[in-house]
Amino acid sequence: MKNTIMENKNFRPLDLKKKMRPGESVIQSLLFISGVLSIFITVAIVYELGKEALLFFNNPDVTLTKFFATTQWQPGIGLFGIWPLVTATLTTSAIAIFVSLPLGLAAALFLSEYATPKARSTLKPILEVLAGIPTVVYGYFALLFMTPLLQSIFGESVQVYNMASAGIVMGIMILPLIASMSEDALSAVPRSLREGAYAMGATKFETSIQVVLPASLSGVGAALIIGISRAIGETMIVAIASGSGPNFTFNPFKAAETMTGHIARISGGDLSYNSIDYTSLFAVALMLFLVTLVLNLISQVVVERFREKYE
């Protein structure tokens, strides 16, 4: 057979003029619109939150001093201290991160550095299925399994509704997310770095902890940030297991209502439009937004400080 490629008969006439490529501009506009839309939606939510929250703060009974410097939250009877809701959110989230970060990182290190390829390809999908369990199931798991377990270990000091049980189960819920994202980050570290470490006489543990982990820190940090955001925003588990009443305490064995749990409970009942209870929910939501934002920023700064950049 004759090889026509080697004959190089130009099948295309030479024409270097500018061409119209309508497909390109359509795609470009679509992508642009999608980008703008997502930003617009975020801005719109913040605007709506701010607008309604402003109604709350414009109420003559509410002052910023009361909001930030008192520790009781009962808007219906004129108590406007946001702190009990914030401390409950921070306590449950801290417990969740305390549980999920070390366990998730350990699981990720095992999967990426120690497990055989076969074990990894079996275990990782199972881990990711765990992430699909509905949070309402986790909530009852906390109330009906974790709380009795804590009570049998720590005795009567553990209340029926408590932050510890909700926090631990929330940690279990976030665990697959952190493990899976961290594993991706660890696996993305180039093999040449591991080889370099091994060739220096490093053990597997030294290589994983001192070379691979620091190099993957931006990805692990992203996992942490998403984990924190999930924990702070998680509603069902805390609504079921953590208690239904604002309580200013850091004692994890006590019942206390988080910001999300509070919003869920209050908005579930009859609520008249423009009542103080109604507008107060937007103030809580705005606070929730701010807490998430601030913690995200802090984690980003921390990660940036410790990460070791490879190209």
Cβ 308 to other proteins shortest distance, Å: 4
Residue whose token pair is 């004759």: 2
| Phi, psi values for residue 57, rounded to 5° | -70, -20
Cβ 300 to other proteins shortest distance, Å: 19
CA distance linking residue 226 with residue 97, whole number of Å: 11
Figure out which of the listed residues 50, 72, 110, 214 binds other proteins, where binding follows CB under 8 A.
214
Is 190 near other proteins (CB under 8 A)? Answer: yes
Cβ 124 to other proteins shortest distance, Å: 18
Question: Coil, helix or strand for 158?
Answer: coil
157 DSSP 8-state letter: G
Q: Which amino acid is at 31?
A: L
Query: Could you tell me the CA-to-CA distances from 303 to 22, 58, 64, 120, 190 in Å, in that order?
Result: 43, 39, 33, 27, 20
CA distance linking residue 283 with residue 232, whole number of Å: 16
Is 211 near other proteins (CB under 8 A)? Answer: yes
Is 202 near other proteins (CB under 8 A)? Answer: yes
Decide whether 168 or 211 has the Cβ nearer to other proteins.
Answer: 211
Q: Which parts of 21-142 are beta strand (E)?
A: 73-74, 79-80
Residue whose token pair is 């190209």: 311
Binding mask 45-84 for other proteins (x = CB under 8 A): ----------------------------------------
Decide whether 152 or 192 has the Cβ nearer to other proteins.
Answer: 192
Is 200 near other proteins (CB under 8 A)? Answer: yes
Residue 70: count of CB within 10 angstroms of its CB: 16
Is 199 near other proteins (CB under 8 A)? Answer: yes
Q: Which of 35-43, 45-53, 63-71, 196-204 is the region at the interface with other proteins (rule: CB under 8 A)?
A: 196-204
